[in-house]
């Protein structure tokens, strides 16, 4: 059975249809949450952000023009809200968090074991990337966004999307090298 297209749900939400809102929420809240939690690195904050995202959808559905897909629109709203949430935190708090993340990379007791486990090491290094690099990698690999869609969500030119992805991958290779995994690239 064919499910109701996202754009139709948005049309119904614009008319105050709560059921359509529930369907859209059920369809996307996990993906939006995962996108946000990777940016804000805190589940409670991510939950606050996705509430705000879907409340915005409820309010703004009538303005959705369909120039992009609904999922791209949602991720663009989520990104904006996530960045605002991060900015609300104090700088010191962010510094501590970043330092903690770097420390985690080298001091984890399981490091020696994980070095032998390439998959685990890749995942660990993916977590060690900067927010900018994590974001582009997640959008392309996990959220299956095209060059054009990623450009729209992040708000950068398409060529910059490609270049950013390239350097995110390069940085990942460097982190893996520092973990003792030589991939032969770049």
Partner 1 sequence: MNAINEEPEPREIEALLPWHAAGTLSPRDANRVEQALASDRELARQYDLVREELIETIHLNETLGAPSARVMERLFAAIDAEETRAPRHRRWFDLGGRISEFLSSLTPRTLAWSATAAAVAILMQAAVIAAVVVKEQGSSSGPELASAPSEGSYAVVRFAPQATADDMTNFLRAYKATVVEGPLKGQLYRIRLSETRLPKEEVGKIIRQMQSESNVVGFVAAKE
Angle in degrees, 0-180, between the axes of helices 147-154 and 70-88, rounded to the nearest 10: 40
Please answer whether residues 37 and 46 qualify as being in contact, where contact means their C-beta atoms are separated by less than 8 angstroms. Answer: yes
Residues 121-180 that bind partner 1 (CB under 8 A): 122-123, 126-127, 137-138, 140-142, 144-147, 149, 162-163, 165-167, 169-170, 172-173
DSSP state of 125: H
Q: Which stretch binds partner 1 (CB under 8 A): 65-73, 74-82, 85-93, 101-109?
A: 65-73
Among 27, 42, 47, 160, interactor with partner 1 by CB under 8 A: 47
Distance, CA of 129 to CA of 104 (rounded, Å): 12
Distance, CA of 68 to CA of 160 (rounded, Å): 19
88 near partner 1, rule: CB under 8 A: no
19 near partner 1, rule: CB under 8 A: no
Please answer whether residues 100 and 90 qualify as being in contact, where contact means their C-beta atoms are separated by less than 8 angstroms. Answer: no
66 near partner 1, rule: CB under 8 A: yes
* Minimum distance, C-beta of residue 146 to partner 1, in the bound complex (Å): 4
51 near partner 1, rule: CB under 8 A: yes
28 near partner 1, rule: CB under 8 A: no
Q: Which stretch binds partner 1 (CB under 8 A): 46-54, 75-83, 93-101, 107-115?
A: 46-54
What contacts 36, CB < 8 A, 6 or more positions away?
46, 49, 50, 53, 78, 81, 82
Please answer whether residues 59 and 12 qualify as being in contact, where contact means their C-beta atoms are separated by less than 8 angstroms. Answer: no
Instruction: Determine the length of the chain.
Output: 186
Please answer whether residues 56 and 77 qualify as being in contact, where contact means their C-beta atoms are separated by less than 8 angstroms. Answer: yes
182 near partner 1, rule: CB under 8 A: no
Give residues in contact with partner 1 (CB under 8 A): 2, 5-8, 11-12, 14-16, 18, 21-22, 25, 29-30, 33-34, 37-38, 43, 46-47, 50-51, 54-55, 58-59, 66-67, 69, 118-119, 122-123, 126-127, 137-138, 140-142, 144-147, 149, 162-163, 165-167, 169-170, 172-173, 183-185
């Amino acid at each position: 059975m064919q499910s109701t297209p996202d754009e139709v749900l948005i049309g119904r939400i614009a008319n105050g249809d709560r059921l359509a809102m529930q369907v859209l929420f059920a369809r996307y809240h996990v993906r939006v949450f995962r996108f946000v939690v990777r940016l804000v690195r805190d589940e409670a904050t991510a939950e606050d952000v996705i509430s705000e995202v879907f409340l915005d959808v409820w309010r703004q559905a009538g303005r959705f023009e369909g120039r992009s897909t609904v999922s791209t629109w949602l991720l663009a709203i989520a990104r904006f809200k996530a960045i605002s949430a991060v900015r609300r935190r104090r700088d010191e708090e962010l510094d501590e968090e970043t330092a903690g993340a770097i420390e985690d990379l080298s001091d984890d007791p399981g490091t020696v074991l994980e070095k032998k486990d390439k998959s685990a090491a890749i995942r660990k290094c993916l977590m060690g990337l900067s927010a900018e690099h994590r974001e582009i990698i997640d959008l392309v690999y996990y959220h299956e966004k095209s060059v054009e869609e990623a450009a729209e969500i992040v708000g950068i030119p398409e060529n910059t999307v490609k270049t950013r992805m390239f350097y995110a991958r390069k940085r990942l290779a460097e982190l893996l090298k520092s973990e003792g995994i030589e991939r032969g690239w770049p």
